[in-house]
């Protein structure tokens, strides 16, 4: 699920809260940079999915991080395992190894009782917190190099090692934890710019390494958390290509990935055997569970090697030609909507959509959307995220599904009422492009608002609110602070109708007061007789009313 950027200024210790903040911030930043990183992707194959694979891998790690009280060791173990099991693509597998190894090294060096209310001491009293962090980055880089059968410089491996070197230099100079992180990010950025010169395939295409760019984004998120300053890592654009386009290169036809249950002592020989079958071999993991990645022309042999030493499962095979060349799909189309309540689910289902439960406090994940796409078995998919934070999730799912030959369009609906407007004009008899255009237009012409109750004191776009205040939301921003919901609802409606409109849609929440809707309808009839009012029972949490104007 997409996180919001979080900062914890003045941090001098690595704790579970720091890990959670970094995870959420990095996920948000990978979501923002995903498309740009995809466009850089020419190595090891030009399949344009590195940004998406890193996002999906990181999302799996975030989803695996449990809520509730945890020790730091428990948290990093869960996060690392989530990355390992959910890793996608060459870059995702390497990133999972970096995350897992870094976390395990930190767990060894940090006090076991941390985050249980006891201060504790470092396992090695001679090792400061900044040194422990730098040492973990070094250990992770070494582990990533060891996981790749034939390491290549000019890749995210190079960037990882440069980050570790910069961090260790700063730590040995007695710098603070935040300064050590700043040094790691600066060194990673510098190494990234040099990748174009280190690999001919990057030089010919005029790009930096896509995986390295993603790693810089992830490290930049940690810098944001430790310094309290928002760090936006701009993904480098293309430079002047030198030579033939990189996409003309030849290579293996298939990417093979699977999880493998196998003894740790069998993996070294297994990794080398895979290297004889293809390239881009990465095998990461430990304690009997491994994530295997290889590019090969012999899919059967790659899987059989796993069978020889253990149990392969969750096998995924991608034909690169299917990724880079799109064919006209067979007839059939599905609309998949993210909904925030049981009543809304009924409305969307009744209009022909497949639904996934989401909404405030329960964001859907990319994996859930991919499962829904697969379950629909439709070659054409329209996604309605119906929430601004779910748009990036939907875009990532769409990119992943396109790799499997599915035609997917994401209509960036930012509210449930925009999704209702879109599904209302859905017509499977139209061509795919026409249907998407009509739904997009209907959603874009729907202004949206809502009312809710503040649960704590906070600053908003409308000023300072207190717990218990009624809040009015207009087009995604808090616009009104009042003493009761009726005033807030009327204020929101007046602002939305101020720009014109003929139809007012009101969606009631789970605990909405019926009198609130009656008062709102009375106000509209008295002041805007030209406007029709439609009321639906949505059943959503947190928002007594969702409001749309068309």
**Residue-wise pLDDT tens digits, 107-154:** 888 765 444 444 444 555 556 889 999 999 999 999 999 999 989 999
Q: Answer with the residue of higher pLDDT: 44 or 281.
A: 281
- In the Cβ-directed half-sphere of 114, how many Cα atoms lie within 13 Å? 23
Q: Give bridge partners of residue 339 from the DSSP assignment.
A: 357
**What's the token pair of residue 290?**
């491994």
Q: Specify the residue for token string 């290889």.
A: 294
Name which of 372, 416, 379, 412 is nearest 542 in CA terms: 416
Confidence of residue 41 (pLDDT cuts 50, 70, 90): confident
- Non-local (6+) Cβ contacts of 181 within 8 A are 133, 167, 219, 222, 223, 226, 227
Name which of 407, 399, 263, 247 is nearest 333 in CA terms: 407
Helix (H, G, I), strand (E, B) or coil at 154: coil
Cα–Cα distance between 15 and 66 in angstroms, integer? Answer: 14
Q: Specify the residue for token string 């509730």.
A: 68
What pLDDT, on a 0 to 100 scale, did the predictor assign at position 263? 95
Helix (H, G, I), strand (E, B) or coil at 426: coil
Chain centre distance of CA 354: 22
pLDDT tens by residue, 216-245 = 999 999 988 887 766 666 666 555 555 554
Cα–Cα distance between 133 and 18 in angstroms, integer? Answer: 13
pLDDT tens by residue, 412-447 = 999 999 999 999 999 888 888 888 888 988 898 899
What pLDDT, on a 0 to 100 scale, did the predictor assign at position 429? 84
Cα–Cα distance between 160 and 496 in angstroms, integer? Answer: 50
Confidence of residue 329 (pLDDT cuts 50, 70, 90): very low
Percent of the chain with pLDDT over 70: 88
Chain centre distance of CA 25: 10
What pLDDT, on a 0 to 100 scale, did the predictor assign at position 123? 52
Domains (range + CATH), the chain:
16-240 (1.25.40.340), 254-324 (3.30.70), 333-444 (3.40.50.510), 447-549 (3.30.1180)
CA-to-CA dists, residue 129 to 12, 122, 163, angstroms: 8, 8, 17
103: preceding bond cis by omega (within 30 degrees): no
Q: Answer with the residue of higher pLDDT: 328 or 257.
A: 257
Cα–Cα distance between 152 and 279 in angstroms, integer? Answer: 11
CA-to-CA dists, residue 451 to 486, 495, 509, 512, 542, angstroms: 9, 13, 10, 10, 9
What pLDDT, on a 0 to 100 scale, did the predictor assign at position 121? 47
Q: Specify the residue for token string 């769409």.
A: 398
CB atoms within 10 A of CB 477: 11
Question: Could you please report the per-residue DSSP string of 172-233?
Answer: HTT--HHHHHHHHHHHHHHHHHHHHHH-HHHHHHT---HHHHHHHHHHHHHHHHHHSS----
Its sign, for the CA torsion 348, 353, 354, 358, is: negative
Q: Does position 307 have pLDDT exceeding 80, yes or no? A: yes
E runs forming strands in 300-422: 311-319, 333-339, 354-357, 380-384, 407-410
For 436-476, the three-class secondary structure string (H helix, E strand, C coil) is: HHHHHHHHHCCEEEEEEECCCCEEECCEEECCCCEEEEECC
Quick one: average pLDDT of 276-305? 92
Kindly report the backbone phi and psi dihedral angles of residue 133, in degrees, each rounded to the nearest multiple of 5, phi listed first: -65, -45
Residue 206 near residue 196, CB atoms below 8 Å: yes
Quick one: average pLDDT of 505-530? 90
Cα–Cα distance between 116 and 82 in angstroms, integer? Answer: 23
Q: Give bridge partners of residue 360 from the DSSP assignment.
A: none
Q: What angle do CA 394, 399, 404 make, to 5 degrees?
A: 120
């Amino acid at each position: 699920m997409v996180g919001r950027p979080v900062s914890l200024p003045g941090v001098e210790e690595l704790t579970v809260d720091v890990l959670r903040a970094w995870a959420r911030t990095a996920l948000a930043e990978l979501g923002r940079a995903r498309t740009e990183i995809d466009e850089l992707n020419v190595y090891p194959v030009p399949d344009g999915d590195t940004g998406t694979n890193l996002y999906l891998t990181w999302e799996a790690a975030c989803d695996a991080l449990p809520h509730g009280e945890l020790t730091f060791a428990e948290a990093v173990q869960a996060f690392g395992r989530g990355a390992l099991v959910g890793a996608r693509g060459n870059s995702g597998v390497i990133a999972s190894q970096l995350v897992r190894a870094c976390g395990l090294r930190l767990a060894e060096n940090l006090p076991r009782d941390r985050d249980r209310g006891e201060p504790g001491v470092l396992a090695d009293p001679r090792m400061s917190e900044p040194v422990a962090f730098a040492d973990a980055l070094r250990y992770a880089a070494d582990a990533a190099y060891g996981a790749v059968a034939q390491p290549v410089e000019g890749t995210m491996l190079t960037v990882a090692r440069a980050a570790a070197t910069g961090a260790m230099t700063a730590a040995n100079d007695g710098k603070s934890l935040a300064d050590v992180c700043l040094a790691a990010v600066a060194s990673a950025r510098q190494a990234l710019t040099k990748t174009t010169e280190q690999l001919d395939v990057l030089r010919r295409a005029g790009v930096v390494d896509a995986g390295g760019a993603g790693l810089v984004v992830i490290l930049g998120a940690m810098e944001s958390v430790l310094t309290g300053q928002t760090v936006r890592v701009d993904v480098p654009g293309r430079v002047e290509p030198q030579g033939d386009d990189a996409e003309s290169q030849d290579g293996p036809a298939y990417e093979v990935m699977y999880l493998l249950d196998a003894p740790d002592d069998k993996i070294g020989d297994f990794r080398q055997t895979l290297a004889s079958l293809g390239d881009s071999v990465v095998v990461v993991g430990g304690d009997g569970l491994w994530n295997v990645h290889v590019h090969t022309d012999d899919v059967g042999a790659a899987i059989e090697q796993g069978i020889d030493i253990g149990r392969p499962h969750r096998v995924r095979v991608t034909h690169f030609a299917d990724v880079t060349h799109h064919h006209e799909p067979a007839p059939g189309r599905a609309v998949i909507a993210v909904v925030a309540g049981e009543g809304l689910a009924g409305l969307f289902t009744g209009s022909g959509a497949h639904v996934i439960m989401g909404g405030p406090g329960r964001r859907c994940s990319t994996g859930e959307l991919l499962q829904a796409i697969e379950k629909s078995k439709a070659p054409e998919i329209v996604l309605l995220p119906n929430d601004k934070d779910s748009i990036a999730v939907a875009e990532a799912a769409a990119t992943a599904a396109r790799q499997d030959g599915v035609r997917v369009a994401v209509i960036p609906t930012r509210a449930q009422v925009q999704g209702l407007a879109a599904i209302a004009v859905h017509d499977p008899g139209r061509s795919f492009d026409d249907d998407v255009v009509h739904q997009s237009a209907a959603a874009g012409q729907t202004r949206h608002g809502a009312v809710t109750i503040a649960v704590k004191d906070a600053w908003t776009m409308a000023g300072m609110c207190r717990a218990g205040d009624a809040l009015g939301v207009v087009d995604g921003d808090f616009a009104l602070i009042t003493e009761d919901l009726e005033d807030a609802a009327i204020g929101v409606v007046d602002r939305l109708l101020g720009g014109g409109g003929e139809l007012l849609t009101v969606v009631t929440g789970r605990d909405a007061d019926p009198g609130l809707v009656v008062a709102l309808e009375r106000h509209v009839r008295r002041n805007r007789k030209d406007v029709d009012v439609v009321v639906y029972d949505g059943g959503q949490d947190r928002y007594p009313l969702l409001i749309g104007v068309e």
